[in-house]
């Protein structure tokens, strides 16, 4: 047992209460000290560093509003849509809670995408922060699962048929696809059993995993220290420190950044509130108009598309046609030829590459394009986990990389946005072609990163971080 700290009997009531708590719950005060008041973060954080704290804010909004929605929602196929309408029309302030939750879902993905882009341009996934990045990618996966499971719950036309399409994709997996789809649905079609399954995952299972991953993400970040726009470790060897061992280029997270983040929170809440009160559907992007029609298993909407935050990956799925599979096969053959004649591999290694390429081509030509579409869609997310080992650049931050590297990142962003837009629109020959080019560029960006990230003239990285008020 820890030794109790005494306090003067003449101390104020507040001081006595503080001492009483410190003696009985020292772990909480130690956590506050380690992760807030004595956690030194680089003093040159900029605009991009708002989005981590904003993601945490939106998570809290989603949990709180979700609790109030569950009080009135009924996870039953016969009453689910009616219970949502009851929340919107009859529950006091129910419309506000529902719109906060639906807008919060899109806001969550916006801030997470921006947070991941910040890590991408500043190299926040590089050593020693690989585990921080992996936890972040796992959070992204869980967030996608949470959004997918929650998408069915309003039991509107778009949520019903969107879930039907996505679940049916699993049937493309050889040997186990049909059984897996049946397991996910709990029935041969999307039905009451599916709704109950999705409700339990959305309300209980995924949030628990998500919270655990968020804690792991933050703890692992604070163990190795935050990155910064210069990509310099302020706590690393050779960096100046004061007498107490604190880095001179760092400042305590609290009160400096906890107050600093209030600026970002204030701006975010103003935009968030404006959307809720003036454009909660946001032209059908945040809430599709078909979702205000009760689910009808006998009437298929003219065009089925997922919510906007899934559409870049959905666009990649649709782009994977038989022609695209042939292109993949040609790329594999060309890569094998290059590896055999130009690489520095041993002869055994070259033969192994040729054998693997031959097996890949056989699989590409003999398995259905729908299956490869599912592989491409899943691979577009999974490949992010390997980013720390794909980037071979001698510097972390985009600030000190060659200028044309910014163009490479910029084209990636443009294609990602275009893929997102094409995923919402009905398929067309030109749209499919653009999506195929975007898909090839997306995977090329990551798979060729060990090569192109080393090219060009790199600027000298300063010994200490650069900072101006």
One domain for residues 376 and 279: no
Residue 230 exposed, middle or buried by CB count within 10 Å (0-12, 13-18, 19+)? buried
Nearest-CA neighbor of 140 among 178, 186, 109?
Answer: 109
The ranges of the chain with pLDDT < 70 are 1-3, 469
Structural domain boundaries, residue 208: 35-292
Instruction: State pLDDT tens for residues 223-277.
Output: 999 999 999 999 888 888 888 888 888 999 988 899 999 999 999 999 999 999 9
Residue 322 exposed, middle or buried by CB count within 10 Å (0-12, 13-18, 19+)? exposed
One domain for residues 276 and 331: no
One domain for residues 119 and 67: yes
Q: Indicate the SS3 state at residue 208.
A: helix
Q: Which helix (H) or strand (E) holds 418?
A: helix 403-424
One domain for residues 186 and 51: yes
- Report the Cα 41 to chain-centroid distance in Å: 23
One domain for residues 279 and 315: no
One domain for residues 365 and 269: no
The verdict on residue 463 lying in a domain is no
Q: How far apart are CA 21 and CA 4, in angstroms?
A: 11
Domain CATH number, residue 393: 1.20.810.10
One domain for residues 177 and 312: no
Q: Which residues of 133-160 are buried (b: 16+ CB within 10 A; e: fewer)?
A: bbbbbbbbbbbbbbbbbbbbbbbbbbbb
The verdict on residue 79 lying in a domain is yes
What predicted TM-score, i.e. pTM, was given to this entire model? 0.93
Q: Would you say 405 is a known binding-site residue?
A: no
The verdict on residue 28 lying in a domain is no
User: What is the pLDDT at residue 343?
Assistant: 72
Q: Would you say 72 is a known binding-site residue?
A: no
One domain for residues 285 and 314: no
Q: How far apart are CA 158 and CA 179, in angstroms?
A: 25
Q: How many CA atoms lie within 13 A of 459 on its CB side?
A: 15
Q: Which two tokens stand for residue 38?
A: 């004595």
User: What is the pLDDT at residue 2?
Assistant: 56
With both helix axes pointing from N to C terminus, report the angle between 130-151 and 206-224 in degrees, rounded to the nearest 10. Answer: 160
What distances in angstroms separate CA 191 from CA 54, 226, 295, one per listed residue?
Answer: 36, 46, 10
One domain for residues 115 and 65: yes
User: What is the pLDDT at residue 349?
Assistant: 82
One domain for residues 67 and 186: yes
The verdict on residue 382 lying in a domain is yes
One domain for residues 67 and 163: yes
Q: How far apart are CA 334 and CA 220, in angstroms?
A: 41
Nearest-CA neighbor of 275 among 449, 468, 466, 96?
Answer: 96
Q: How far apart are CA 416 and CA 117, in angstroms?
A: 12
User: What is the pLDDT at residue 3?
Assistant: 65
The verdict on residue 134 lying in a domain is yes
Domain count, the chain: 2
Contact 115, 124 (CB under 8 A): no
Q: Would you say 202 is a known binding-site residue?
A: yes
Q: Within a 10 A sphere around the Cβ of 457, how many other Cβ atoms? A: 7
From 263, 292, 321, the end of a domain falls on 292
Q: How far apart are CA 41 and CA 48, in angstroms?
A: 14
One domain for residues 288 and 326: no
Q: How far apart are CA 428 and CA 399, in angstroms?
A: 39
The verdict on residue 2 lying in a domain is no
Question: What are the DSSP calls for 5-37, one per residue?
Answer: PP--TTS-HHHHHHHHHHHH-HHHHHHHIIIII
């Amino acid at each position: 047992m820890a030794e109790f700290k005494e306090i003067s009997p003449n101390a104020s009531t507040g001081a006595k209460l503080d001492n009483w708590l410190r003696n009985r719950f020292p772990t909480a005060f130690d956590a506050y000290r380690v992760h807030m008041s004595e956690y030194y973060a680089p003093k040159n954080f900029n605009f991009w560093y708002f989005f981590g704290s904003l993601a945490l804010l939106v998570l809290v909004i989603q949990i709180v509003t979700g609790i109030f929605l569950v009080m009135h929602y009924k996870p039953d196929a016969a009453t689910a849509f009616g219970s949502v309408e009851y929340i919107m029309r009859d529950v006091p302030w129910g419309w506000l809670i529902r719109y906060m939750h639906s807008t919060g879902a899109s806001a969550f993905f916006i801030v997470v995408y921006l947070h991941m882009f910040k890590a991408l341009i500043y190299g926040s996934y590089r050593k020693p922060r690989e585990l921080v990045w992996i936890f972040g990618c796992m959070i992204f996966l869980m967030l996608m699962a949470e959004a997918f499971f929650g998408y069915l719950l309003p039991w509107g036309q778009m949520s019903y048929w969107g879930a039907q399409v996505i679940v049916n994709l699993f049937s493309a997996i050889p040997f186990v696809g049909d059984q897996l789809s049946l397991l996910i649905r709990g029935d041969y079609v999307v039905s009451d059993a599916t709704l109950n399954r999705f409700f339990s995952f959305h309300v209980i299972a995924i949030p628990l995993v998500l919270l655990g991953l968020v804690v792991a993400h933050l703890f692992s970040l604070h163990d190795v220290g935050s990155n910064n726009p210069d990509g310099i470790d302020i706590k690393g060897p050779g960096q100046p420190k004061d007498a107490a061992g604190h880095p001179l280029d760092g400042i305590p997270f609290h009160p400096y950044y906890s107050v600093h983040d209030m600026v970002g929170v204030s701006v975010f809440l103003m935009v968030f509130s404006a959307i809720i009160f003036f454009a909660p559907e946001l032209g059908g992007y945040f809430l599709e108009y078909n979702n205000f029609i009760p689910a009808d298993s006998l009437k298929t909407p003219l065009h089925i598309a997922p919510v906007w935050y899934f559409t870049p990956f959905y666009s990649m799925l649709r782009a994977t046609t038989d022609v695209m599979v042939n292109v993949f096969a040609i790329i594999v053959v060309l890569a094998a030829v290059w590896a055999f004649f130009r690489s520095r591999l041993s002869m055994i290694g070259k033969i192994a590459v040729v054998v693997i390429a031959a097996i890949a081509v056989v699989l590409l030509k003999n398995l259905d394009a729908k299956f490869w579409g599912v592989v491409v869609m899943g691979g577009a997310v999974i490949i992010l986990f390997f980013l720390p080992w794909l980037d071979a650049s001698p510097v972390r931050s985009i600030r000190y990389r060659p200028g044309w590297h910014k163009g490479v990142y910029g084209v990636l962003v443009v294609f990602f946005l275009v893929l997102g837009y094409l995923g919402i629109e009905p398929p067309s020959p030109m749209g499919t072609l653009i999506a195929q080019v975007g898909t090839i560029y997306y995977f090329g960006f990551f798979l060729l990163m060990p090569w192109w990230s080393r090219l060009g003239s790199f600027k000298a990285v300063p010994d200490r971080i650069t900072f101006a008020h």
